[in-house]
Amino acid sequence: MSKLQNLLDQFNTIAASPRVQLDGYLAKGKKVVGCFPYYVPEELVYASDMIPFGIWGAAGAVEAAKEYFAPFYCTIAQKGLELSLNGSLNGLSGVIMPSMCDTLRPLTQNFQVANPDLPFMFLAHPQNRRLESGIEYTIAIYSKLKSSLEAISGVTITDEKLREAIKICNSNRSARREFVKLAGEHPEAVSAKARCAVLKSSYFMDKSEHTVMLNDLNVQLKELPISEWGGAKVVVSGIINDNLGLLEALDEHKFAIVSDDVAHESRGIRIDVSEQGDPVTALAMQFAEQNCDPLLYDPELNCRHEYVTQLAKDSGAQGVIVLMMQFCDPEELEYPSLKGALDGAGIPHVMIGFDQQMENFGQAGTILQTFAGILSNAQ
């Protein structure tokens, strides 16, 4: 087995077994904090000598969480609560939960009711994040989160420790951005399924450990010769793209993901945190600079449709696949703008609706097969 394939297999094992990773850190005496989507400042968790652990839902049926949610709620929220109710999150020292949309807000309340003994940290980001008042508010809520993490860990988060944590997370963001580029250049070596595993595993690993492995993988990819790809090259846009059935359908119909606008993958790693000045202010400024996300309020910078269109052009993609999480109001409301921009630019695209409970992707496979034919004929 080649070193490259061995590394991909390791990432896949980690991505497929988050509970094993969690138990491993607990066995080492580490405290672990669950981080729900989106935009949790993981640096603060690291600076408190604890491990941030991503909780973006999981595939499978929703059972116990049905008592707390109507059936039309986004399944990322439903599955996040389900994980806490079925024991998958046992051992966490606390959870951090933002309230970025109308689904996440009630999730914060239901989660506390369902898990009264688990320390809960509510993260209320400001909508007007770019205004001076918005930045000051973000600094205030991050400072409050800092105090809560210090109380849980028993560790004082000094500026020095926080700056070191920022460097660790910046290095990991840089490595992931490089991997996204290299994976797009070498789809013959990195399938859609493997690509997802590499990026997803970062949520379950100490970022330093993940960066070491990923830098090694990136070196292996750089050494590969340029090869021709016989399938279609696409940009994928949406919240999450980790369902094995959907990934297998992408691979079956030879789609190469050359870049993405996926919240779970590239949206959160576009911008680094400044390593200069006051570190809490630097974290607040990073959030203020985030853009082109349907969850973020931008009256003058509603730019996701322009961003995705340009991303498709810059990456050499032949088309765009929009993964629409069912019952996600922000993404659904923004879709007409995205569709109009892609149509106006002459970029073929397809929209596929799905959720975390889906197991049968026969219909999605048919849509992808048809789209692959459209892109092939357009060449």
pLDDT in tens, 153-185: 999 999 999 999 999 999 999 999 999 999 999
Assess whether 289 and 333 both reside in one domain.
yes
Same domain, 322 and 236: yes
Whether residue 126 is contained in a domain is answered as yes
Are residue 330 and residue 222 in the same domain, yes or no?
no
Per the prediction, the chain carries an average pLDDT of 93
Q: What is the CATH number of the domain that holds 257?
A: 3.40.50.11900
**Residue ranges making up the domain that contains 131:** 31-157
Q: Are residues 302 and 313 part of one domain? A: yes
pTM for the complete prediction? 0.95
The answer to whether residue 376 is domain-embedded is yes
Which residue, of 193, 228, 263, is where some domain finishes?
A: 228
What pLDDT digit, counting tens, does each position of 223-265 carry? 999 888 999 999 999 999 999 889 999 999 999 999 999 999 9
Give the pair of three-digit tokens for residue 43.
């640096």
Shared domain check, 112 and 245: no
C-alpha to C-alpha distances, 53 to 13, 37, 174, 203, 362, nearest whole angstrom: 16, 11, 19, 6, 32
**Two structure tokens written together for 122:** 């509510």
3-state DSSP assignment of residue 163? helix
Are both 57 and 82 inside the same structural domain? yes
Asked if 317 and 369 sit in the same domain, the reply is: yes
Predicted confidence band of residue 328 (pLDDT cuts 50, 70, 90): confident
Same domain for 207 and 99 = no
Helix/strand/coil (H/E/C) assignment for every residue in 332-377: HHHHHHHHHHHHHHCCCEEEEEECCCCCCCHHHHHHHHHHHHHHHH
* 114-129 pLDDT, tens digit each: 999 999 999 999 989 9
Q: How far apart are CA 242 and CA 239, in angstroms?
A: 10
Give domain status of residue 60, yes or no: yes
Helix residue ranges, H only, the chain: 3-16, 18-27, 42-47, 75-85, 104-114, 132-153, 159-185, 192-200, 207-222, 244-252, 279-289, 304-315, 329-345, 362-378
Please state whether 24 falls in left (phi above 0), alpha (psi between -120 and 50) or beta: alpha
State the Cα–Cα distance between residues 92 and 84, nearest whole angstrom: 10
Same domain, 150 and 70: yes
Residue 102: pLDDT band with limits 50, 70, 90:
confident
Q: Is residue 57 part of a domain?
A: yes
| Res 366 pLDDT > 80 | yes
Residues 249 and 363 in one domain: yes
Q: Establish if 67 belongs to a structural domain.
A: yes
What is the token pair recorded at 256?
A: 């190469």
Q: Is residue 288 part of a domain?
A: yes
Same-domain status, 259 and 276: yes
> Which pLDDT score is estimated for 318?
97
Determine the average pLDDT of the residues in 73-88.
Answer: 89
Q: Are residues 50 and 96 in the same domain?
A: yes
Looking up residue 126, the CATH number of its domain turns out to be 3.40.50.11890
Would 163 be classed as within a structural domain? no
Number of independent structural domains in the chain = 3
